[in-house]
Amino acid sequence: MLSGITAMYEISVALKYLLPKRKQLSVTLIALMSVGVISLVVWLTLIFLSVTSGMEKNWLKKLTDLNAPLKITPTQAYYSSYYYNIDSICFSSNYQTKTIREKAQSEFTDPYDPEFDEEPPQHWNAKDLNPDLSMKDPVKIVYGILDELKIKKTIKSFQDFEMSGGLLKLQLLRSSSPCFTIRGLETVNFLSQVSYITSFPENNPFLHESILPPSKRDIENLLYLSTKNLEGTQADVAPKIKLSNPNEFSQKLNKTLAHAGIETLNSTSSLWRIPIELMTEKQQFNAFGYFQDGKLVQVLISEKNIKGKKTSYDIVEGKIKKINENIIFETGRQHHILQNSTPVVTPDPVELTTDFLDLDSSQTSSVSDMRIHGEIKIQNQKIQGLIPWNNLSISTLSPTTTFTHKPTSSPLWAYSVSGSHDNSQMHLPDYNHNDYPILLPKNFQDSGVLLGDKGYISYNSSTVSSMQEMRLSVHVAGFYDPGIMSIGNKCIIVPNEVTKAINSTTSSHFFDKIATNGIQIWLSDLKDVDSLKQSLESDLVKNQINEYWQISSYKDYDFAKDLLQQFQSDKYLFTLMAIIIITVACCNIISLLVLLVNDKKKEIGILLSMGASSKSIALIFSFCGVIMGTIGCIFGCVMAHLTLRNIDSIVSILSKIQGHQAFNPNFYGTHLPNELSPEALFFVAIATPILALSAGLIPAIKACLLKPASILRSE
Amino acid sequence: MNPEIVISTKHLYKSFQSSEKIDILNDINFEARKGETVAITGKSGSGKSTLLSILGTLESATSGDVTICGKMSSQSNTSELRNHHIGFIFQSFHLLEDYSVLENVLMPAKIARKSTSKGSESHNRALLLLEQVGLSHRTHSSAKTLSGGEKQRACIARALCNSPDIILADEPTGNLDRTNAEMVSRILFENAKNTNSTLILVTHDQELSQHCDKSFHLKDGFLHLVK
């Protein structure tokens, strides 16, 4: 190996010095310790910086997914402009000011008809005119600029938003029975929440990532509600609950199950009745017959041996068979034909697998008729067919939330249609104007709200003489992760009509007018946000509409500033700490190399006598430092990679040891970030060898100052 | 015409400062020509090895000049002079014990940044030198496994690796038995003759000094020409 290296014999000498040798146990031990400490520090630095940077990315994503990284909002000049106010005196605008969306869709920039409409007040601002004396349309100009940017793919998408406020009241109808298919006592709870209301941003390309898929409890609630017909969901008292008529039920059931993707169900009762009539004539099961006064009253099929169990019945072991359509319990020479009323049950947990495509809904008119096509396994034998949905609860499901084409019958929850990758659009379930679907922040789930729950949104409408309370019926169509929205966990996403209805009738605005309406812009890459903001600002100036619009990026959002600054300062602080601890770790190298220089004095003398320069001798010991730093760095990186790959398992062990969750999921998310940060990797890959080299310089200088003649004479 | 002078000293002084000033070398004016064999004798502690170290630029003189192959020795060129013009042979061998015999012989070539890979000029020369000193069979043996005579022969091969103009040998046979001593001195003289290099020996061995072209005696810090 040595002969192969010609140019840098210093490296080969350094490697030779560092190879562990029994003769130099102390040097070897200190070398291993130094490498170990560096690895540990590198590991710690990488883990911390990667997790912090991953969390920053996650938070940034949460922040910009719903809020959009860039917003264009109208200024006070817009709201006091002739352009905005003219609609309030025009018959063609129904004497109502228009939202940004309405302005964009409006046919006329100036709807004023001097023959029909009253004269605009004197104190209004004058019309803002183009050079050709036509009226400037700030909304259409902005839309034009954004459309162009979208075509150029500079931005991913944009959409107007409208915000409002109201009181949300939900009625939570629940069955006291653990299994919704059994009729139990029904209770109604009410949940009220003063809420912010925002329009549904269907063009938001990231919205589908924030929307949570329906849970099994959600689907069970939908199934339960499909059996009910509620009247008076806009009232403050419990609604009148009627059973759905067979047609309605069948329709609702099909709508629920069409996209629910139920895969397996589990038996919930301690003794589950097996649909034994579905067994084939080839099958037979080991069973225990329960006899009372010589009469077979129940047959039990179990994996466990229950013979020794104390009971008032006589238990006889036998087999269940099907002969000529009759179910027979056979014990030795005796045969007992099972009557329909004789139950065949199992105490063992049963899993029913189904694809639900064969749901026999044509014959389903009530819960008791619900039969599903599926199969169960009893004693390793399959029983297939239509199985009654009694004492079964959903175990696993994979509801469809993404479609390639808009489904003919929409699911009962929010879904996305991804025609092409760049063109994914979110949709709310189909609705009529008597009952609007709404999306709630996920914290509502903690209050027991489930998909399908009904209620209303209340808001005040001013009339000439009084304030009037208005109510809009709503139902829960999904939950979303609000991330770090400024208005946090109190924001309901509703169809655009709802915000429009509330804003057009509410006399005093719920919020600052400027914040209630605007345009959100989503980008492909957040890094472009500053340059895009600048280019948009210059476009507005170029079109002379800059006084009407204000552009803000996520960095300007008040609610995000603190968090972003916190992440930045955390990063700087730990980088500084990392430099200090890596320096301390590298200082170990100094003591090792001083020891090594003393140990290798004779060899240094020999090399000098052969013509090695002092620079070469210094280089050898500097390389020793760099090699140890690099090996420590590589080990640390590998350890960090392995740790991050298994971070979930490590966190779960930590949580078990602590007895509670080691990392608060509200802050850290359900999973800690598990990607190695390239910036952190770059930092340790550069910093560690440099610091190790610096540490190696002190012993290197000591080595090159040695006098060869005196060393060789003394040796 | 006389051959050129390859090494010379002019008014060379060396003194050590302990409790009092000790003058080791006093006004040494020495020169050796190309192909010459020179012996320096003297009592133990007379300063022979110090003079040899100063001649080989391993040590600096208190005052005076050393010129090697026409280049005045200074702090900036000592390593280059040692690597290109001088080959050292020590009484206690000073081989690199963690390396093989071949690696030891090749080390001066590595330091001179020459290619030492198999088949290279340096590699072939190292093998030839090992053959000449009778160590072909120990090429890949570890240096620490060699006997004293073998070590000194390996040391000679190493000193000759870069074809130096001057060989400085500090009591090369001092630690060897008679047979090995004879073999080592024969190799040294033969090489000096064959390569026309200068051999400067520090020795107590009268026979060896008589074998040289010139002989100096160092006494009380002064160098006297004996032969």
Lowest mean pLDDT among A58-67, A624-633, B65-74, B202-211: A58-67
pLDDT, greater one: A354 or B158? B158
| pLDDT value, residue B9 | 92
How does strand A295-300 pair with strand A344-346? parallel
Closest-CA distance of chain B to residue A6, Å:
5
More confident site: B35 or A179: B35
Kindly list the distances between the CA atom of residue A306 and the CA atoms of A274, A292, A293, A346, in Å, as whole numbers in the listed order. Answer: 18, 17, 20, 11
Residue B213 has φ and ψ, to the nearest 5°, of -65, -40
Q: Which residues pair with A550 in a beta bridge?
A: A73
- Put simply, the answer to whether B114 touches A616 (Cβ < 8 Å) is no
Pick from B79, B94, B96: which is nearest to A611 by CB?
A: B79
Q: What is the pLDDT of residue B39?
A: 93
List the single residue in B82, B110, B113 with the smallest CB-CB distance to A609.
B82
With beta carbons less than 8 A apart as the criterion, state whether A385 and A287 touch: no
Mean pLDDT confidence for A401-409: 87
Nearest to B88 among A2, A609, A614 (CB): A609
CA angle A446, A448, A449 (to 5 degrees): 105
Mean pLDDT of A142-166: 90
Q: Which of B16, B48, B58, B101 to mutate to test the interface with A (most CBs of A within 10 A)?
A: B58
Nearest to A522 by CA among A207, A286, A221, A249: A207
Q: pLDDT tens digits for A71-125?
A: 999 999 998 899 999 998 888 888 888 889 999 998 888 888 888 888 888 888 8
Quickly tell me which residue has 């002739």 as its tokens. Answer: A82
Q: Do B103 and A3 touch (CB under 8 A)?
A: yes
Q: What local confidence, expressed as pLDDT, does residue A144 receive?
A: 93
Q: How far apart are CA A185 and CA A202, in angstroms?
A: 40
CB distance A314 to A290 below 8 Å: yes
For residues A282-295, average pLDDT: 85
The nearest alpha carbon in chain A to B122 belongs to A3
- Among chain A residues, the shortest Cα distance to B159 is held by A610
Q: Is B111 at the interface with chain A, CB within 8 A? A: yes
Q: Does A131 touch chain B (CB under 8 A)?
A: no
pLDDT band at A22 (very low <50, low <70, confident <90, very high): confident
Q: Which two tokens stand for residue A431?
A: 């609705």
Which one of A21, A610, A714 would you mutate to disrupt binding with B, by most B Cβ within 10 Å of its Cβ? Answer: A610
**Number of CB pairs, chain A paired with chain B, less than 8 A apart:** 87
Residues of chain A in contact with residue B16, where contact means CB-CB under 8 angstroms, are none
Separation CA B49–CA B21 (nearest Å): 19
Are A168 and A123 contacting, i.e. CB atoms less than 8 angstroms apart?
no
Q: Is the pLDDT of residue A380 over 60?
A: yes
Residue A283's pLDDT is 85
**What six digits make up the tokens of A306?**
């229950």
Q: Any CB–CB contact under 8 A between A3 and chain B?
A: yes
Predicted confidence at residue A434, as pLDDT, reads 83
Instruction: In whole angstroms, give the CA distance from residue B184 to residue B167.
Output: 13
Nearest to A3 among B95, B112, B123 (CB): B123
The whole model's pTM is what? 0.67
- For A614, the closest chain B residue by CA position comes to B79
pLDDT at A132 exceeding the cut of 50 = yes
pLDDT in tens, A646-670: 988 888 888 888 888 777 776 777 7
Nearest to A606 among B84, B94, B114 (CB): B94
pLDDT digits (tens, 9 = 90+) for A422-453: 567 889 998 888 889 999 998 899 889 999 99
Share of chain A above pLDDT 90, in %: 19
Nearest to A6 among B98, B108, B113 (CB): B113
A311: helix, strand or coil: coil
How high is the pLDDT of residue A268?
81
Q: Smallest Cα–Cα separation from A688: which of A642, A643, A644, A637?
A: A637
Can you read off the two tokens belonging to residue A341?
Answer: 């009323």
B18 interfaces chain A, CB cutoff of 8 Å:
no
Distance CA A197, CA A85 (A): 24
CA–CA distance, A435 with A454 (Å, rounded to integer): 9
Indicate the burial class of A273 (C-beta count within 10 angstroms; 0-12, 13-18, 19 or more). middle
Q: What is the pLDDT of residues A201-232, one digit of tens each?
A: 988 888 888 899 999 889 888 888 887 777 66
In b/e form, how buried is each residue of B194-227, taking b as 16+ CB within 10 angstroms?
eeebbbbbbbebeebbebbebbbbbeebebeeee
Q: How far is B186 from chain A (nearest CA, A)?
A: 23
To the nearest whole Å, the CA of B92 is away from the closest chain A CA by 8
Task: Supply the DSSP symbol for A123.
Answer: T
pLDDT value at residue A486: 55
B175 touches chain A (CB under 8 A): no
The edge-to-edge listing of strands for the beta sheet with B198-202 is B86-89, B166-170, B198-202, B37-42, B214-219, B222-225
A9·B99 Cβ contact <8 A: no
Residue A509 has pLDDT above 70, yes or no: no
Query: What phi and psi, each to the nearest 5 degrees, are found at residue B111?
Result: -65, -35
Burial class from Cβ neighbours inside 10 Å (0-12, 13-18, 19+) for residue A289 reads buried
Cβ neighbours of residue A215 closer than 8 Å, sequence gap 6 or more: none
User: Long-range pairs for A383-388 at CB < 8 Å and ≥24 separation?
Assistant: A383/A274, A383/A275, A383/A276, A383/A278, A383/A279, A383/A283, A384/A278, A385/A275, A385/A278, A386/A278, A386/A360, A387/A275, A387/A278, A387/A352, A388/A275
Judge contact between A276 and A320, C-beta under 8 A. yes
A16 contacts in B (CB within 8 Å)? 98-99
> What is the mean pLDDT of the segment spanning A253-264?
84
pLDDT of the residue at A180: 59
Helix axes A138-151, A529-542, angle to 10 degrees: 140
Cβ–Cβ contacts within 10 Å for residue B26, how many?
Answer: 15
Residue with tokens 């630690």: B175
Residue whose structure tokens are 């179910």: A327
Four-point Cα dihedral A44, A50, A52, A55, nearest 10:
-140
Interface test with B, best of A18, A609, A620 (most B CBs within 10 A): A609
Interstrand relation of A228-231 and A295-300 (parallel, antiparallel or unpaired): unpaired
Minimal-distance CA residue of chain A relative to B84: A611
Contacts of B98 in chain A (CB under 8 A): 16, 603
Assess B142–A contact: CB distance below 8 Å, yes or no.
no
Q: Kindly report the CA angle at A508 between A465 and A496, in degrees rounded to 5?
A: 110
**Chain A CB within 8 Å of residue B151 CB:** no
Mean pLDDT of A475-500: 82
The one-letter amino acid code at A415 reads Y
Q: Report which DSSP code applies to A572.
A: H
B102 vs chain A: nearest CA distance in angstroms? 9
Mean pLDDT of A533-537: 93
Q: In what order do the strands lie in the sheet with A295-300?
A: A272-273, A344-346, A295-300, A284-292, A314-323, A326-331, A334-337
Q: Measure the CA–CA gap between B161 and B127, rounded to whole angstroms.
A: 10
- How much is the pLDDT for A3? 39
pLDDT of A678-708, one tens digit each?
988 998 899 888 888 888 888 888 888 888 8
pLDDT of residue B216: 93
Type of residue found at A20 = P
Cβ within 8 Å, pair A6-B110: yes
* Residue A489 pLDDT: 74
| Chain B: residue whose CA lies nearest to A17 | B98
Integer Cα distance of A424 and A403 in angstroms: 10
The H-or-E segment that residue A242 falls in is strand A240-243
pLDDT digits (tens, 9 = 90+) for A307-321: 666 777 788 888 888
Which of A603, A607, A611 comes nearest B112 by C-beta?
Answer: A611
- Confidence at A599, pLDDT banded by 50, 70, 90: confident
Report which listed range, A139-148, A322-331, A377-386, is most confident. A139-148
* Nearest in space to A552 (alpha carbons), one of A71, A68, A60: A71
Rounded mean pLDDT of A390-402?
A: 86
Q: Which has the higher per-residue pLDDT, A553 or A3?
A: A553
Picking from B98, B113, B123, the nearest residue to A16 by CB comes out as: B98
Q: Does A671 touch chain B (CB under 8 A)?
A: no
Q: B132 and chain A: CB distance < 8 Å anywhere?
A: no
- pLDDT over threshold 50, residue A415: yes
Whether the predicted pLDDT of A406 surpasses 90: no
Q: Establish if A305 touches chain B: CB-CB under 8 angstroms.
A: no
Q: Which of B82, B94, B118 sits opposite A611 (nearest CB)?
A: B82
* Distance in angstroms (rounded) separating the CA atoms of residues B30 and B12: 9
pLDDT surpassing 90 at residue A266? no
The ranges of chain B with pLDDT < 50 are none
Q: Is B72 on the interface with A (CB under 8 A)?
A: no
Structure tokens at A243: 């059973």
- In this predicted structure, what is the pLDDT of residue A533? 93
pLDDT beyond 80 at A414: yes
| C-alpha span between A137 and A60 (Å, rounded) | 34
Contacts of B105 in chain A (CB under 8 A): none
Question: B-contacting residues of A 599-658, CB under 8 Å?
Answer: 602-603, 605-614, 616
Contact A620, A701 (CB under 8 A): no
Residue A421 tokens read as 């990758």
Residue A488 has pLDDT above 80, yes or no: no
